């Protein structure tokens, strides 16, 4: 029988999955849940050493002789300090020890709780990885705990380097209950690199070969090599796959599916997401703007996530991570392509499901609004240009429409902050003054970064489309402003215009207040033979801009009475009982 403390259950399950049997145990009350659980399990070899310093050195010798990891476990407070000397010795001798320090309730730290010191990261630079487990209260805590354990155990031996790891385990009670017959199933993440055997890589290739629903999500990449483009194209032809792209991925792929609209939480239904559920998700690159990130995360555990990550870091974006490939995307796709038989081909059944869903989008004749302005600019940007998208609406709306090939697209979505968009864009324009360079930016981001217009040597290839809708339309789009008595502080409503500052800094200034004035300005704004930088300020209204997106979705969204009832009902319930309570109810239903 095992402890009812979930974090210890996961640790024990991980030890058994990794075939780590030897445990050196020091007496104490806080680590009793672990100690009693392993001493009752015939899988483990347990040694009792009361003095923690001696226990650490004993485990060091045991690990050296067996050439395998050994566990040491102690109670809280000064007991953990006694591990310091042997842990340091293990670090400099590259000996894999698993250091388990039991801890008390984190909120009691510094509150005169007995036998409690700050144990988080206490061995500092003398362990290969240090983690502090959560006290588990729900499913998300379980996923987080398992991810942390994988991060730690993967560092026991990484790229040929071995050494100790530290796992701190807080609990908020003295737990003496051992009523669990079976350990929970734990998600074990495997990491493969160039150095692993070809047979291991071929096992993964065979898994892909048998899969019928492979989804490749391409995150933000500022540069994509011709080799990567060619290999992804080949992968799509050979495997039953769908390639998900947006403009920040900078992957010009004709059969790529842009899910910016399709997977927006205001658009996709839970039934449609079930229909499109993948077996395997392969991801590479950085941040993903599309709502597919949220949709996959909300359906965690229903698919395998394979991450291509050059530094081998654990990034469990979809809370379903199974494999990390510590290599370049070029290497991964090339290996999978070369090892695949020449007579195999994508049956395109899964791809066509996405393609048919994409065809459901209905594009109306947009009335004058931010969508109208952005559409008419991005569709006219010439090939081989630079395009920078500031944040949220600029990114979202641009991805609604088709842009020409070889337009290198940027956005500061690494941190997804409002600041610095224009400064970054001007730096990109200055780096290649021969390229036509376009920025699409909202008023709040513009005024936040307005000093960037004073940067000297401003190139004449700069074109800035400024959507001035008198505030942050994003707060109308996601309905956050409704929780406030006014939109002045939430959506930052204002009546400022950029004209004076723009002219003062030597820009050609254009303004539009309706369709006619916009259309009149458009050809001049798109002219690439100007002798100075140019800015077009388009005046709209944030509330109506947000409504235009919703109208667009309503026009295109596949009609399903049950889903519509659920969507509208959820919004009503949110207003009545609050978003957090709705989340708890949904999580309770899922579990």
Lowest mean pLDDT among 281-290, 366-375, 445-454, 482-491: 482-491
Q: What pLDDT digit, counting tens, does each position of 462-500 carry?
A: 999 999 999 988 888 887 776 666 788 788 889 999 999
How far apart (Å, rounded) are the C-alpha atoms in residues 303 and 145? 19
pLDDT at position 108: 79
Domain 6-188 has CATH 3.40.50.970: yes
Query: E-assigned strands of 69-209?
Result: 70-74, 97-103, 129-132, 157-158, 161-162, 165-170, 190-193
pLDDT at position 440: 97
Q: pTM of this prediction?
A: 0.90
Q: Among 266-270, 318-322, 335-339, which range has the highest average pLDDT?
A: 318-322
| Spans of all domains in the chain | 6-188, 191-359, 370-549, 559-590
Domain 191-359 has CATH 3.40.50.1220: yes
Q: Span 119-140, mean pLDDT?
A: 95
What band does 583 get if pLDDT is binned at 50, 70 and 90? low
Q: Is residue 535 pLDDT above 80, yes or no?
A: yes
Q: What pLDDT digit, counting tens, does each position of 201-251 carry?
A: 999 999 999 999 999 999 999 999 999 999 999 999 999 999 999 999 999
Q: Span 288-315, mean pLDDT?
A: 95
Residue 458, token pair as written in the block:
């401003």
The residue to which tokens 């842990």 are assigned: 87
pLDDT at position 9: 97
- Using a 10 angstrom Cβ sphere, with 0-12 exposed, 13-18 middle and 19 or more buried, the burial of residue 505 is middle
Within 13 Å of residue 215, how many CA atoms lie on the same side as its CB? 24
Q: Is residue 162 pLDDT above 80, yes or no?
A: yes
pLDDT at position 401: 96
Burial 48-81 (b: 16+ CB within 10 A, else e): ebeebbebbbbbbebbeeeeebbbbbbbbbebbe
pLDDT at position 575: 58
pLDDT at position 321: 97
Distances 530 to 258, 453, 500, 511 between C-alpha atoms, Å: 33, 17, 20, 17
What band does 518 get if pLDDT is binned at 50, 70 and 90? very high
pLDDT at position 591: 52
Helix, strand, coil shares, percent, the chain, to 5: 40, 15, 40
pLDDT at position 494: 92
Show the CA angle centred on residue 154, arms to residues 148 and 155, nearest 5°: 100
What band does 576 get if pLDDT is binned at 50, 70 and 90? low
How far apart (Å, rounded) are the C-alpha atoms in residues 355 and 533? 40
Q: What pLDDT digit, counting tens, does each position of 348-393 carry?
A: 999 999 999 999 999 999 999 999 999 999 999 999 999 999 988 9
Q: Where are the alpha helices (DSSP H) in 495-578?
A: 499-504, 515-526, 542-556, 561-577
What band does 557 get if pLDDT is binned at 50, 70 and 90? confident
pLDDT at position 419: 87
Q: Is residue 109 pLDDT above 90, yes or no?
A: no
How far apart (Å, rounded) are the C-alpha atoms in residues 205 and 182? 33
How far apart (Å, rounded) are the C-alpha atoms in residues 94 and 542? 59
What band does 25 get if pLDDT is binned at 50, 70 and 90? very high
Q: Is residue 121 pLDDT above 70, yes or no?
A: yes
Q: Span 114-137, mean pLDDT?
A: 92
pLDDT at position 571: 59
How far apart (Å, rounded) are the C-alpha atoms in residues 418 and 298? 26
pLDDT at position 475: 84
What band does 528 get if pLDDT is binned at 50, 70 and 90? confident
Q: Is residue 507 pLDDT above 80, yes or no?
A: yes
pLDDT at position 107: 78
What band does 339 get if pLDDT is binned at 50, 70 and 90? confident
Q: Span 34-63, mean pLDDT?
A: 97
Please tell me if the domain spanning 6-188 has the same topology as the one spanning 191-359.
yes
Residue 181 or residue 340, greater confidence: 181
Bridge-partner residues for 539, per DSSP? 468
Q: Span 76-89, mean pLDDT?
A: 94
pLDDT at position 485: 64
Average pLDDT, the chain: 92
Domain made up of 370-549: CATH architecture: 3-Layer(aba) Sandwich (3.40)
Phi/psi of residue 383, nearest 5 degrees = -55, 155
Residue 291 or residue 582, greater confidence: 291
- 8 A C-beta contact, residue 90 and residue 164: yes
Helix (H), strand (E) at residue 150: helix 139-154
Name, in order, each residue with C-beta under 8 angstroms of 532's C-beta and a sequence gap of 6 or more. 460, 506, 507, 508
How far apart (Å, rounded) are the C-alpha atoms in residues 240 and 260? 22
Which of these, 124, 102, 131, lies nearest to 115 by C-alpha position? Answer: 102
């Amino acid at each position: 029988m095992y402890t009812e403390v979930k974090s210890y259950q996961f640790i024990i399950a991980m030890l058994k999955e990794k075939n780590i049997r030897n445990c050196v145990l020091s007496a104490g009350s806080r680590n009793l849940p672990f100690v009693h659980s392993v001493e009752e399990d015939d899988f483990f070899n347990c040694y009792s050493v009361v003095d923690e310093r001696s226990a650490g050195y004993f485990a060091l010798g045991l690990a050296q002789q067996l050439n395998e990891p050994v566990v040491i476990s102690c109670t809280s407070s000064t007991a953990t300090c006694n591990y310091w000397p042997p842990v340091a010795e293990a670090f400099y001798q590259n000996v894999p020890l698993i250091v388990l320090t039991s801890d008390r309730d984190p909120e009691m730290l510094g509150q005169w709780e007995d036998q409690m010191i700050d144990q988080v990261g206490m061995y500092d630079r003398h362990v290969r990885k240090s983690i502090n487990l959560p006290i588990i209260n729900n499913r998300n805590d379980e996923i987080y705990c398992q991810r942390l354990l994988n991060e730690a155990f993967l560092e026991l031996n990484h790229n040929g380097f071995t050494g100790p790891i530290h796992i701190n385990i807080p609990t908020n009670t003295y737990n003496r209950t051992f009523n669990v017959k079976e350990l929970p199933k734990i998600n074990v993440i495997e990491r493969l690199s160039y150095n692993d055997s070809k047979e291991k890589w071929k096992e993964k290739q065979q898994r892909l070969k048998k899969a019928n629903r492979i989804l490749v999500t391409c995150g933000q990449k500022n540069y994509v090599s011709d080799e990567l483009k060619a290999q992804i194209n080949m992968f799509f032809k050979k495997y039953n796959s769908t390639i998900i792209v947006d403009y920040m991925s900078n992957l010009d792929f004709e059969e790529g599916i842009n899910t910016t609209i399709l997977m927006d939480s205001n658009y996709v239904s839970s039934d449609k997401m079930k229909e499109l559920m993948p077996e395997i998700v392969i991801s590479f690159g950085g941040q993903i703007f599309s709502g597919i990130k949220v949709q996959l995360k909300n359906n965690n555990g229903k698919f395998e996530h394979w991450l291509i990550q050059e530094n081998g870091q654990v990034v469990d974006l979809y809370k379903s991570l199974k494999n990390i490939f510590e290599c370049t995307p070029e290497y991964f796709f090339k290996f999978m392509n070369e090892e695949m038989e020449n007579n195999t081909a994508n049956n395109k059944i899964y791809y066509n499901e996405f393609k048919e869903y994409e065809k459901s989008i209905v594009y109306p004749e947009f009335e004058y609004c931010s969508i109208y302005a952005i559409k008419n600019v991005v569709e006219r940007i010439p090939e081989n240009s630079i395009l920078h998208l500031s944040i949220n609406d600029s990114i979202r709306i641009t991805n609604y429409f088709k842009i020409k090939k070889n337009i290198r697209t940027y956005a500061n979505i690494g941190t997804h902050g409002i600041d610095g968009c224009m400064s970054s864009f001007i730096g990109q324009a200055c780096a290649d003054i021969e390229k036509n360079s376009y920025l699409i930016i909202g008023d709040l981001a513009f005024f936040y970064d307005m000093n960037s217009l004073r940067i000297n040597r401003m190139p004449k290839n700069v074109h800035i489309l400024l959507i001035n809708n008198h505030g942050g339309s994003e707060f109308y789009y996601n309905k956050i402003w409704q929780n406030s008595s006014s939109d002045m502080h939430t959506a930052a409503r204002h009546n400022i215009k950029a004209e004076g500052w723009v002219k003062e800094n030597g820009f050609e200034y254009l303004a539009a207040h309706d369709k006619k004035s916009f259309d009149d300005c458009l050809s001049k704004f798109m002219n690439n033979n100007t002798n100075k930088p140019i800015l077009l300020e388009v005046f709209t209204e944030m509330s109506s801009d947000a409504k235009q997106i919703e109208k667009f979705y309503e026009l295109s969204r596949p009609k399903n009475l049950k889903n519509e009832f659920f969507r509208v009902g959820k919004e009503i319930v949110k207003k009545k009982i609050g978003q957090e309570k709705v989340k708890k109810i949904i999580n309770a239903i899922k579990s």
